[in-house]
Every structure is written in structure tokens, then in C-alpha cells.
Amino acid sequence: MATKSIIMKYGLSPSPDVVEYRLRVVPTGTENVSALNAFFTLDGSGSADLGAMPELQNLDGVYDFYLSAVDDAGNESDFSVFTGKAIDFLAPEPPGEITFEVAG
């Protein structure tokens, strides 16, 4: 079953030497996000399809998005943050067993 598409759009950093962006997706309320080494690298096109990222296809809940810009020397900016985004890529559990009753 194909995962649905969720397009995240973001404004680009105005700094001239930015070469990539880092996206951290965490359950809402997670603290100390800057210490997390797990991030997705975005190319700076201004949008990303979350449904096309295999690592995100098990998301089911409410998440905060932290996006930073990185320059060619590896310096990372402060975050641009979006909080409280509900995402549900998981299909619900299937219904229970199917049974039949024959009347009469």
C-alpha cells in the first residue's frame, strides 16, 4: 500500500553560505533536540515529501519539526520549529474475523 504524501514546505535561510538543511522529527514535547544526532538532510529546495522518506513511514502520532541550516564549514544555525503536527502513516489494525450466520 502506498504511503500518502505529506509535503513540508520551509523558507530558505538568507545566509549566503548555506549548503544543506537538517530536519529532526521528534514526538511533541521532546527536549534537548539539538543534542540529537539523528536527522534528515534536505537539499534546500524548499519542500520535502515526508511520505517519501522511508524512516518516517512508521510515524503515527503528534510530532515537532526542527529545521536548521548548515553552511559549507559545518556550522549549524538555530532551529526553525513547527510544533504539534499530527501525522499518521500507519494503516489501522484490520477488522476482526468475519463470520456468517445462517438464519432459519
Question: Which stretches of the chain bind another protein, using CB under 8 A?
Answer: 6-18, 21, 65, 67-71, 73, 75-82, 85
Total Cβ atoms within 10 A of residue 25: 24
Nearer to another protein, 16 or 94 (CB): 16
Contacts of 95 (CB under 8 A, 6+ apart): none
Which residue, 3 or 68, has its beta carbon nearer to another protein? 68
Residue 50 Cβ, how far from another protein at the closest point, in Å?
Answer: 8
Grid cell in block for residue 44: 534546500
Cα torsion 78, 60, 51, 27 to 10°: value is 10
57 vs 93 by CB, closer to another protein: 57
Q: Measured from the CB of residue 69, what is the shortest distance to another protein in angstroms?
A: 5
